Structure 1
Amino acid sequence: MPKAPRPDLAAMLLPLGRTLVDLERPVLDRHGLSMWAYVVLLGLDVEPVYTQAALAKAIRADKTRIIPVLDDLQRRELIRREPDPADRRVNLVWLTPAGARLREATQHDIQEQEARLLADLPATDRDTFLRVLRQLSERAR
């Protein structure tokens, strides 16, 4: 068999993903968020109100695994959870204004870190990379 013309996508993306997680961790710590808490806050930006089960599915988390995360975010008044008036067995989840502010501040700081990582790329390459990455990310959903 001839040698592959390039590394596999996972072989290229995994080290980048690990680097991004390492860059995000201190930012999340400064904002008092775990990675899962940040994922929840980001997920609630896509849809303003979710059921807990729909939120878990949207962020690809086990619905039982995010309950302690939701409990913490609710205790800190970053989200609200209330029974659905149409089905009281189901909880609806949404961001509070404080949760939205924290999400925006955290995302701003993370994207500043990402900008530094991408700064050495020519602007056209950076724009193309981000556009294609967004397209691939949307397809993966």
Structure 2
Amino acid sequence: MATWDLSNTNHHILICNGSSCNRAGAEELTQAIRKEISNRELDDIIHTTRTRCNGRCHDKCVVIHYPKGAWYRDLKPEDAPLLIDSLCADEDYTEKVSHSYDGQRFERSFGVIAGVPKDKEKVNKVSKKL
């Protein structure tokens, strides 16, 4: 396993490769993002990590950008150039943002489902109300 020198890294892209995202094309998305980074010779400043499920299966395919804290939804391989453009411009790819971090908490974008609470007690209360 390689140990990458991250001293010049400005962006860390986490690409969900959990089962729901995989069925929706996560492997193709992962390869498209990595190819775009390589073609632009940005490997030194943009690091990618393939993850397992990030818990937002409804938003598949999910990509998370740190240190900004932006979560992206419904990404397809053809979105790779626009995503990388947005990183290079230090902007969000706003059309695909599901959640953004304001420095204190995550804000959900309009039209994005809230999901279920992580706390099992809250989940049980929600289930009983339904």
TM-score by length of structure 1 reads 0.22
**Bigger Cα Rg:** 1
Kindly indicate which of the two structures has a greater share of residues assigned to strand.
2
